[in-house]
Structure 1
Amino acid sequence: MNSRIENERVLDPPQTPSFRELVTVFARIGLLSFGGPAGQIALMHRTLVDEKCWISEERFLHALNYCMLLPGPEAQQLATYVGWLMHRTRGGLAAGLLFILPGLLVILGLSVAYALFHEAGWLRGLFFGLKAAVLAIVIEAVIRVGRRALKHRLHYAICCLSFLALFVFNIPFPVVILAAAMAGLIAGRYSTFSATPARSEILPGPPTSLRRTLLTLVAWVLVWQAPFLLIFALAGGGVDNVFAALFGFFSQMAMVTFGGAYAVLSYVAQMASGHYGWLNPGEMLDGLALAETTPGPLVLVLCFVGFIAAFRNPLGLDPVLAGLIGGALAAWATFAPSFLWIFVGAPYVERLRANRAVANALSAITAAVTGVILNLALWFGLHVLFGEVGRLTLLSYPGEGGPAPLASLPRPVWTSIDGLALALSILSAVLVVRFRLGVAAVLLIAAAAGWIVQAAL
């Protein structure tokens, strides 16, 4: 009886929220979305699925599966997708922009302070408690999503293999997701494994046609590349135009950033400090520290790079103004394609929800995504609880500069464990699991506790 009632609830959800409600909720999500993609996905899942009941578990995971296949920040794309489901283009724009604007404004402000005063350490004390709270929220999300997504022995196998592929062997993220999709397709065809095609719970939008798709594609490509007009107006198209170099470089990054920010940070750091000379060695880590302590996608660190590059090469402008333009250009080049992928692809992805073969593939991707979130949670947890984390090589192969690691494990330095961070994480877990407080309340309590503790030391 209970399972029948639960199924009816999934297929007959509450009324779609008003546009004002959507704006209010995503503004709150944008302000509280700390902790990188794992924390942000956990926050959206808790808010949209559990608290507001605006979208079912399967619909949320279906959208997440598609976003995991795209280049760019998957959490921001997921917010855009959910907004699009509820209020089409204006809903997608509102949700996607509100998800990134608070963090963008904060990272630009911190970049100004960093460039003028070269000081970032004071931020660690301010956001100390927030990181501990996010760790508890992420762990709860892994358990909750895994409990609902892993329904078959193959799901458990895919989840475990995906986690090991990322955590131990450092296999590229797209390879893991595509391998999971192929496993789901093959298993559905040659075994008893079969996922039930999903039924629509939100009214479909206007019919999708090739003409409409092409118009949407062209329109968003033009929007994406529109800043070139500003660039040429400011400094022309010369080889020394830092704005043109920034926009071109980050436009290329937007096409290949599969697996989120960590997948490209080393390459961006190498190009920014070596090839272009925008940053000094080690400054990328300062930018990452700023991005990790602000809400929004972690790829906002690219805005820090854009700011510093233009601040140091202002082309006759005020350095701070040039830096703000450089940071804004980096953000535009990074996030505009995300709207393109959703508005062009989401209508077709929604049509595929009733296809059994696609359902098999996506259910396998869901299992892999559970392993991905677990990997992110452990990575985040290790860096919250320990001051030093190295790597223990398990297997290696001969390389040009000596043995190269084939398989390795994170190796925390146990003497560097942060007892206060551990205590705040346990406190946050108790508030979330035992007392079932909302995300905002837990974050505020942990932030206040962290600030008091740091101020007392």
Structure 2
Amino acid sequence: MSKTVQTSRESDAQSPTNHGVSLGEAFRVWLRVAALSFGGPAGQIAVMHRILVEEKRWISEGRFLHALNYCMLLPGPEAQQLATYVGWLMHRTPGGIMAGGLFILPGIIAIMALSWIYALYGQVGFVSALFFGLKAAVLAIVLEAVVRIGRRALKNRILIGLAAAAFVAIFFFDAPFPLIILAAGLVGFFGGRAGLPQFQLGGHGNLAQEHDNLLGDELSDHAKPNTGRSLRVAALWLALWLTPVLALVLLFGQGDVFSQIAIFFSKMAMVTFGGAYAVLAYVAQQAVETYGWLQPGEMLDGLGMAETTPGPLIMVLQFVGFMAAFRDPGSLSPLVAGTLGGLLATWVTFAPCFLWIFLGAPYIEVLRGNQALSGALSAITAAVVGVILNLAIWFGIHTIFGEVAPFAWGPVSFDAPVWGSVNLWALLLSAAAIAAMFQFKIGMLPTLAATSLAGIVLYMAGAIA
């Protein structure tokens, strides 16, 4: 056998789609993407686009955006799923596991370390003051997400109406979040199928000139739908996801905190459409009011951790799982229980993400340009704007006011702020953070740092306890 032929076969073994990128090189690139994954999904997707499309030219603009559109339709963090999708396109299942796993690894480590610090020292005045400042910036960040996504998604009156309807349904009538997303998706699906222009995404595939790319636009064998392979993928990843859940319930019962974590966050994994912001209000409500795992302000503390560390914002669920088990450790030490609870929440949150990609991506690859899918995406994104606005108001009420009172009138019900309980320093810090991000265009991380420092200064000056 000639040296040339041998080298070619070695390359094919390393690179199943003949693009010439080895797993080792891909590992280094995905590690770089993970290290730069700050700033929420918009920033993370921008980093991946710059590295994968513009710099490395692994994938074309159109194919990148087609994958992104699918990931935005899925429950779970779209940026992590996009990494998994491209990794799978490049190097089959091992590449997808590597890309998706590396994307969340820095966040897992960082959130776990911060959860330990919070659990051990969170009630110390200095630490409480730091998180007091963080909450102000988090409110500004969520408001900025409403504006940013709204500008992109609400291109006509029908989509604006969907956003408004979603907000009214969830804020005033406590409509279930999955029902809102399902209804919006169905409206968009049939609107897109009918060819209504209000539900089209505006030709994303033509946003930029296509680059020469290593993947090309043809379908490799592993990217083609195959029923037998799909059944095997579904069986494997469903087992990996649900076996720990069933084992905990059978061993300890549904009332055990670990069983509750496994069941609750498995449910969340199926309804987290639109990213972390869209579902956090529901998670906060359940964690605070139903399970008693957290105090209202602590959800904001956890979101502040997720905002300042690499990885998806949905990593805040690891903090929730940690605190739940830390406060109900059973026979374990609180820190050991908290660690296990945090890792369990992370597992049942992200294991389904790999299932959605490995099972669905081959079928999505053959549906590029499908109008019904585009319509569903447009409608769901519009509804998510209304849901995130609900989250912003919820966070604002619990940041600025010390007390809330339930209001009910017929089918309408919501938590109304007690105006006499306003915290002046929280109001001023929140206003300053909003001005910094909206008026002066200061970035997220500098704003978080400034408000955290302001909280510490206020504590040292005796202005806050």
Q: Is the 8 A contact 2:325 2:338 kept in 1?
A: yes
Q: How does 1:150-169 map to 2 (within 5 A)?
A: 150-169=154-173
Matched, 1:373 2:381: no
Report the AA paired with residue 84 of structure 1: T
Q: Work out the CA distance in 1 between the residues paired with 2:353 and 2:125.
A: 32
Match of residue 390 from structure 1: 405
Report the AA paired with residue 376 of structure 1: L
Q: Work out the CA distance in 2 between the residues paired with 1:445 and 1:79.
A: 27
Quote the offset at 1:132 in angstroms: 1.1
Matched, 1:362 2:373: no
Quote the offset at 1:162 in angstroms: 0.8
Q: Work out the CA distance in 2 between the residues paired with 1:23 and 1:409.
A: 44
Matched position secondary structure for 2:385: helix
Q: Is the 8 A contact 2:164 2:386 kept in 1?
A: yes
- Among 296, 302, 312, the alignment partner of 2:330 is 312
Matched, 1:106 2:114: yes
Q: How does 1:161-310 map to 2 (within 5 A)?
A: 161-188=165-192, 189=194, 193-195=198-200, 196=202, 198-199=204-205, 206-209=222-225, 210-224=227-241, 241=252, 247-257=258-268, 258=271, 260=279, 262-263=281-282, 288=299, 291-292=302-303, 294-295=305-306, 296-297=313-314, 298-300=316-318, 301-309=320-328
* 172 and 449 in structure 1: CA distance in 2 versus 1, 3 angstrom threshold: same
Q: Work out the CA distance in 2 between the residues paired with 1:346 and 1:441.
A: 37
Q: Which runs of 5+ in 2 are unaligned?
A: 1-24, 54-60, 89-95, 273-278, 307-312
- Among 410, 414, 426, the alignment partner of 2:419 is 414
* 228 and 149 in structure 1: CA distance in 2 versus 1, 3 angstrom threshold: closer
Q: Is the 8 A contact 2:135 2:300 kept in 1?
A: no
Report the AA paired with residue 336 of structure 1: A
Q: Work out the CA distance in 2 between the residues paired with 1:167 and 1:60.
A: 32
TM-score, normalised by the number of residues in structure 2: 0.70
Aligned residues: 391
Matched position secondary structure for 2:359: helix
Quote the offset at 1:51 in angstroms: 11
Q: Is the 8 A contact 1:80 1:342 kept in 2?
A: no
Q: Which runs of 5+ in 1 are unaligned?
A: 1-16, 33-42, 273-280, 397-405
Match of residue 45 from structure 1: 42
Q: How does 1:30-69 map to 2 (within 5 A)?
A: 43-46=40-43, 48-49=45-46, 62-63=69-70, 65-67=72-74
RMSD: 4.0
Identity percentage of aligned residues: 32
Matched position secondary structure for 2:413: strand
Q: Is the 8 A contact 1:120 1:290 kept in 2?
A: no
Matched, 1:144 2:160: no
Q: Is the 8 A contact 1:159 1:369 kept in 2?
A: yes
Quote the offset at 1:140 in angstroms: 2.1
Q: Work out the CA distance in 1 between the residues paired with 2:370 and 2:430.
A: 42
Matched position secondary structure for 1:312: coil
Matched, 1:96 2:111: no
Q: Work out the CA distance in 2 between the residues paired with 1:64 and 1:121.
A: 42
Matched position secondary structure for 1:127: helix
TM-score, normalised by the number of residues in structure 1: 0.71
Q: Is the 8 A contact 2:83 2:99 kept in 1?
A: yes
Deviations 1:208-256 (A, max 9, x none): 4334433433333344367699x89xxxx985x5899555443332342
Matched, 1:79 2:87: no
Quote the offset at 1:129 in angstroms: 1.6
